[in-house]
Structure 1
Amino acid sequence: MKACNTFLLLLAVSAVHRSASESLMYPYGPEAGDRVTPVKDDGASDEIPISQKFTFFNKDYNSVFVNNNGVVSFATAVPSYTPDAFPLADGRAFVAPYWGDVNNEITGKVYYRESKDPQLLQRISNDIEKYFPNLSFKATWMFIATWFNVAYYGSVSNKVNTFQAVLATNGQRAFIMLNYDKIQWTTGTASKGDPETGLGGIPAQAGFNSGDQTHFFNIPGSRTPDILNIKSTSNVNEPSRWVFQVDTFKVPGGCTYKADFVKFGTVFWKDAACTQMCKCLESGELACEEHRCAGSETCQPNLWYFTCQAPAENPCL
């Protein structure tokens, strides 16, 4: 077990949460009728029965767990605080808006509720139809989990994160939406992060794992320092939001290669020698061919892929 953290963080947390007009977050908190998970390092809710089945990669679930460490899981709780690389070998199925070492004993709340509120169902239906324009979708159920101003384990700073996972279904099709409001840290000290900055070590993972060791997805920057910038990224042209269909896997806005994402029009190379060039087509398919860098270019890493880059100009010439 991790050692007890005796640091007391004095942080004024506003009871008034940001409204929908100020961010892409769906309503949350006591005023929205939310419940809260236990105030416990690596804690989780009890198993939460849900009133409508949720289909996740062709498997139906009738309950969820909301885990303090940034995960909504199916079938079992996830107390793990250091994120492992996807796919996981142990069969756990879960959605990870921001899997990292949260400690709500320091500060922050983890809220959750299921909802059949007509206004919220209409809102999520409108959002999904905007992102999937060829799909008619009318939600009949949704589940909202929100991590509000949560600190990292071992924190001696006032850095906090606020993010959200929204699950929605009409009984057949199922969607996941991940929203980000404030991201100031990536790593707890038990994951080798810096206690003063919340950075370094093994940073947070975002995406999901189906449990079958085949279907999984990594939001760009996962388990790297770049995950700190997740609020500026998106696959639906709205920075701070990622959306997926998950009854069967569909990602709007780009292409996937080995569970990683690139936007439409992106050109990249698969290998460190830059011999296989690929382009993400508007159809969502990758077109790849043998193609090397030009003579003056060098093959350089960029996130999980490689690009051909021209030599930098010498300003003294």
Structure 2
Amino acid sequence: MKESWQFEDMKHKSIENNSSLGWIAAMGFCMTLVASNAQAIPLLTFDSLDNGGFGDLAMLPNDDRSSSLLDLPFDINFFGNVYHNFWVNNNGNITFEGPVGSFTPSPFPISSNPMIAPFWGDVDTRCGSCGSVFVGAPNSSTVMVTWNNVGYYPADSSLTNNFQLILHDQGSGNFDIDFRYDRLEWTTGNASGGIGGLGGTPAQAGFDAGNFVDFFTLPGSRTGAVLDLQNTTNVAGGENGLWSFAIRSGLVPGSTPDNPLLPVIQDDGFNFDFNVNLNQTVFIDPDVATGYEYFVDSGPNFASVLVPSALPNGDGTFELIVDGVTYDLFAGTVFNFASINPLGFDHFSIAGIDTHEMLNPLDPFAFVTGLTFVDSGVVSMRQVPVITAVPEPETYAMFLAGLGLLGFIARCRKNILA
């Protein structure tokens, strides 16, 4: 039976020897898309075809091992801590305070060791067809870690996953996180209760601050639906399988109006899944229509709403409808649902966004909404756009673009590397 390692003790385990990334960054390779048998977005590679174009081996074939301590070619500010180095862990993640060998994902937040995990599951690369883990720095502002066609424990390649983590420097400690899922076929190793790569405790994707408070978990994590990450995206205009997050001043998207949380674009509207703490404001930002309906599908109810700024050509007054009653909603003023119902509400709507506003659907800050919730917990919510009038054809085309009917164009994130 496979022995489970404690998360906190990983920094004391022996690790494979591997060189730093500094010399790779100095070479300044360009990156290109390479076609594959992808069900979703292709992975990025170097121009060089050594090791499939993914850089250097992060570690030899193994189960539950990690790389040596690697240098970042740039500093990152992750939840207020500045890091210069990191470890690549075989089981689908990187960490900053020590290597981690845990193969069954515990729900975030889990440890004082910060983690970024595109797919934390029981990767096993010991068989000849079980794939490999690679790491490279294509230039001085990019780090790329690739789990290329990796199998699962025990050394099984009947199903394989092909995914990637990319860190992109934005200066002054700011950086972007990209997860790219080319192919996801298995969720679970046998030692995590899985049979044939499925069932048991499935993989988890997201990131953990290491402070036991702040974290973000991607939809479907620790369920069989984690495989759907290859079929969805949170990037307007991005290909399915691309997930991107901007870390600014050490904070994750949703922490400030300047860096709102972007939704997963689905047929039933703009879907958001995130953790919330009591009295914490989360800023979200979809494209803009003439109004929006807000739904909590699971988790604590809405406690308040804030529209931080007036629209360019408006007076900053909107209509807020809750429980069948219409109230005035003023930009820059918090509307407290608890004053109506101490339990809050799981549904409300905002109306009164005039078509003559001509809001640019490519503007990520057009209608940033701040929300608080009546309790702590994991929130799954939707923001559904509403069109209450048919504008002139040119304006209507802009609204259709905002709803995805003409296709999305990336507005906040790059889906190629600079």
Indicate whether the TM-score tops 0.5.
Answer: yes
Deviation at 1:53, TM superposition (A): 1.1
* CA distance in structure 2 between the aligned counterparts of 1:21 and 1:285, rounded to whole angstroms: 41
Q: Could you say if the C-alpha distance between residues 286 and 94 of structure 1 is closer, same or farther in structure 2, counting changes exceeding 3 Å?
A: same
Counterpart residue identity of residue 262, structure 2:
G
Query: Does residue 283 of structure 1 match 2:368?
Result: yes
Gap runs ≥5 in structure 1: 4-17, 117-139, 290-302, 308-317
Q: Could you say if the C-alpha distance between residues 32 and 226 of structure 1 is closer, same or farther in structure 2, counting changes exceeding 3 Å?
A: same
Give the SS at the match of 2:153: coil
Equivalent in the alignment of 2:176: 175
Query: Does residue 57 of structure 1 match 2:79?
Result: yes
Aligned match of 1:27 in 42, 45, 59?
45
8 A Cα contact 1:206 1:219, kept in partner: yes
Q: Could you say if the C-alpha distance between residues 252 and 270 of structure 1 is closer, same or farther in structure 2, counting changes exceeding 3 Å?
A: closer
Deviation at 1:175, TM superposition (A): 1.1
8 A Cα contact 1:277 1:288, kept in partner: no
**Structure 1 residues 175-207: Cα deviation after superposition (integer angstroms, max 9, x where no partner):** 10000000000000000000x3x1100000000
8 A Cα contact 1:115 1:143, kept in partner: yes
Counterpart residue identity of residue 63, structure 1:
N
Counterpart residue identity of residue 51, structure 2:
P
* CA distance in structure 2 between the aligned counterparts of 1:272 and 1:48, rounded to whole angstroms: 41
* CA distance in structure 1 between the aligned counterparts of 2:134 and 2:380, rounded to whole angstroms: 36
Q: Write out aligned runs for 1:1-317 (5 A).
A: 2=2, 19-20=33-34, 23-27=41-45, 30-32=51-53, 34-36=55-57, 37-88=59-110, 90-106=111-127, 107-116=130-139, 141-154=141-154, 158-172=158-172, 173-194=174-195, 196=196, 198-237=197-236, 238=238, 239-246=240-247, 247-250=250-253, 252-254=261-263, 255=272, 257-258=274-275, 264=286, 267-271=295-299, 276-278=345-347, 282-286=367-371, 305=380
Give the SS at the match of 1:243: strand
8 A Cα contact 1:20 1:27, kept in partner: yes
**Structure 1 residues 244-268: Cα deviation after superposition (integer angstroms, max 9, x where no partner):** 1123211542355425999846622
Give the SS at the match of 1:27: strand
| Matched length | 254
* CA distance in structure 2 between the aligned counterparts of 1:75 and 1:227, rounded to whole angstroms: 26
Task: From the CA coordinates, give the structure whose radius of gyration is larger.
Answer: 2
* CA distance in structure 1 between the aligned counterparts of 2:125 and 2:295, rounded to whole angstroms: 42
* CA distance in structure 2 between the aligned counterparts of 1:284 and 1:65, rounded to whole angstroms: 37
Q: Could you say if the C-alpha distance between residues 271 and 169 of structure 1 is closer, same or farther in structure 2, counting changes exceeding 3 Å?
A: closer
**Structure 1 residues 26-68: Cα deviation after superposition (integer angstroms, max 9, x where no partner):** 2156253611122110011111022321221221111111111
**Structure 1 residues 217-240: Cα deviation after superposition (integer angstroms, max 9, x where no partner):** 000000011102110121113310
8 A Cα contact 2:55 2:134, kept in partner: yes
Q: Could you say if the C-alpha distance between residues 259 and 111 of structure 1 is closer, same or farther in structure 2, counting changes exceeding 3 Å?
A: farther
Runs (4 or more) in structure 1 with deviation over 6 Å come to 260-263, 272-275
Equivalent in the alignment of 2:414: none
Give the SS at the match of 2:45: coil
Q: Could you say if the C-alpha distance between residues 155 and 57 of structure 1 is closer, same or farther in structure 2, counting changes exceeding 3 Å?
A: same
* CA distance in structure 2 between the aligned counterparts of 1:170 and 1:77, rounded to whole angstroms: 26
* CA distance in structure 2 between the aligned counterparts of 1:305 and 1:200, rounded to whole angstroms: 23
TM-score norm. by structure 2 comes to 0.55
Give the SS at the match of 1:276: coil
* CA distance in structure 2 between the aligned counterparts of 1:56 and 1:2, rounded to whole angstroms: 33
Q: Could you say if the C-alpha distance between residues 182 and 270 of structure 1 is closer, same or farther in structure 2, counting changes exceeding 3 Å?
A: closer
Equivalent in the alignment of 1:299: none
Counterpart residue identity of residue 253, structure 1:
L
* CA distance in structure 2 between the aligned counterparts of 1:102 and 1:216, rounded to whole angstroms: 23
Q: Could you say if the C-alpha distance between residues 80 and 212 of structure 1 is closer, same or farther in structure 2, counting changes exceeding 3 Å?
A: same
Give the SS at the match of 2:225: helix
Counterpart residue identity of residue 114, structure 1:
A
* CA distance in structure 2 between the aligned counterparts of 1:220 and 1:158, rounded to whole angstroms: 25
* CA distance in structure 2 between the aligned counterparts of 1:280 and 1:101, rounded to whole angstroms: 43
Q: Could you say if the C-alpha distance between residues 79 and 267 of structure 1 is closer, same or farther in structure 2, counting changes exceeding 3 Å?
A: same
Deviation at 1:272, TM superposition (A): 8.9
Gap runs ≥5 in structure 2: 4-31, 254-259, 264-271, 287-291, 302-342, 351-366, 383-418
8 A Cα contact 1:236 1:252, kept in partner: no
User: Aligned-residue CA RMSD in angstroms?
Assistant: 3.2
8 A Cα contact 1:113 1:143, kept in partner: yes
